[in-house]
């Protein structure tokens, strides 16, 4: 079974990779991804300065998903710029995720990462877990300004990680803006922001930052993720490569993302809960689904979702 995929001219040996933020902060974690069955090494979303992130507890799993408010803990882009060339020895694509608290942060990170030469740059405009900071991607014009500036200093193919949108008007507005900038792929979606999980026994919230509010991930958000993948696949008429993110627990979940139009999938909550062996299991399960359905490759089923 051919599980390879190509995004922006970059070939991935398998369509499964980690989501930025899941087991990818430290050098040890990135090297472990390189040694695993992951089809790529995706870095943590990086900022100009190292960040400890929000105080703990800041991650909690529950039946059906997880809630987190990590606050972008990362080593800072100078450290990742140094690490990226060293990660080449694993022979798989490297995706550098960049973030920022203001537009200048994105530009500084992009200039440093350009010199490190990852295969792709994922621009995270959708972190919902920074106290007092808005999700940039809910402001179309602010997103446009940042992406236009980034395309001036990046020769590496650039993609955008977007938050969930819940109205077709917002899908259309963002897609229309993206038509005017040099974006090579989309990662859909980041966690569903500002959820709240409560422990009824202790009568408390389960994470400390933001009074217990955090980003929701895992199985519970899969319908929202699939809807966003499908909406953008249709708006771009299949021309824009999409990485599906959200609710990938089984090979069947990955298959659903592919049917909606995704070229690859990223794994977050499942990776945190199960560890790196999840990649090998997911490959096996997806291969079994594709074989049963009569598909010979990931490409064969992409976007083939039937409508009634």
Three-class SS string for the chain?
Answer: CECCEEECCEEECCCEEECCCCCCCCHHHHHHHHHCCCCCEECCCECCCCECCCCCCCEEEECCEEEECCCCCECCHHHHHHHHHHHHHHCCCEEEEECCCCHHHHHHHHHHHHHHCCCEEEEECCCCCCCCCCCHHHCHHHHHHHHHHHHHHCCCCEEEEECCCCCHHHHHHHHHHHCCCCCCEEEECCCEEEEECEECCCCEECCCHHHHEEEEECHHHHHHHHHHHHHHHHHCCCCCCEEEECCCCCHHHHHHHHHHCCCEEEECHHHHHHCCHHHHHHHHHHHHHHHHHCCCEHHHHCCCCCCC
The rounded Cα 292 to chain-centroid distance in angstroms is: 28
pTM of structure: 0.96
Q: What is the pLDDT of residue 103?
A: 87
- What CATH number did the domain enclosing 149 receive? 3.20.20.70
Domain residues for the domain of 287 are 5-53+72-191+218-301
Judge whether 11 and 1 are in contact, CB under 8 Å.
no
pLDDT bin (cut points 50, 70, 90) of residue 295 is very high
Look up tokens 């990590």; give the residue. 70
Any residues with CB less than 8 A from the CB of 234 and at least 6 apart, and which?
Answer: 261
Is residue 223 one of the residues assigned to a domain? yes
Mean per-residue pLDDT for 102-117? 92
CA–CA distance, 56 with 58 (Å, rounded to integer): 5
Sheet order of strands, 213-217 included: 59-62, 65-68, 213-217, 192-196
127 labelled catalytic: yes
- Per annotation, catalytic residue among 69, 126, 187, 191: 126
Mean per-residue pLDDT for 286-302? 98
Mean per-residue pLDDT for 208-216? 96
- Per annotation, catalytic residue among 15, 23, 127, 260: 127
Is residue 59 one of the residues assigned to a domain? no
Percent share of the chain, pLDDT over 70: 98
126 labelled catalytic: yes
Is residue 33 one of the residues assigned to a domain? yes
Mean per-residue pLDDT for 101-119? 92
Domain tally, the chain: 1
């Amino acid at each position: 079974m051919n599980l390879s995929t190509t995004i922006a001219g970059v070939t991935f040996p398998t369509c499964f990779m980690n989501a930025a933020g899941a087991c990818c902060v430290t050098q040890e974690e990135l090297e472990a991804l390189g040694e695993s069955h992951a089809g790529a090494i995706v870095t943590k979303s990086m900022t100009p300065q190292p960040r400890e992130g929000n105080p703990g507890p800041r991650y909690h799993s529950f039946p059906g998903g997880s809630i987190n408010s990590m606050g972008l803990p990362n080593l800072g882009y100078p450290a990742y710029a140094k690490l990226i060339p060293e990660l080449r020895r694993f022979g798989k694509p490297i995706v550098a995720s960049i973030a920022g608290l203001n537009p200048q942060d994105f530009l500084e990170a992009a200039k440093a990462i350009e010199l490190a030469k990852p295969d792709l740059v994922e621009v995270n405009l959708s972190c919902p877990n920074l106290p007092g900071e808005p999700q940039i991607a809910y402001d179309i014009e602010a997103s446009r300004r940042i992406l236009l500036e980034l395309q001036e200093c990046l020769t590496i193919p650039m993609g955008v990680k977007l938050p969930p949108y819940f109205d077709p008007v917002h899908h259309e507005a963002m897609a229309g803006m993206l038509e005017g900038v040099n974006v090579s792929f989309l990662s859909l979606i980041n966690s569903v922001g500002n959820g709240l999980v409560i422990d009824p026994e202790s009568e408390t919230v389960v994470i400390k930052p933001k009074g217990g509010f955090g980003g929701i991930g895992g199985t519970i958000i899969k319908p929202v993720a699939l809807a966003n993948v499908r909406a953008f696949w249709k708006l771009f008429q299949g021309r824009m490569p999409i990485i599906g993110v959200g609710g990938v627990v089984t090979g069947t979940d990955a298959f659903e993302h592919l049917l909606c139009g995704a070229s690859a999938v990223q794994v977050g909550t499942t990776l945190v809960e199960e560890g790196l062996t999840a990649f090998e299991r997911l490959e096996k399960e997806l291969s079994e689904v594709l074989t049963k359905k009569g598909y010979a490759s990931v490409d064969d089923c992409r976007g083939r979702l039937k409508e009634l």
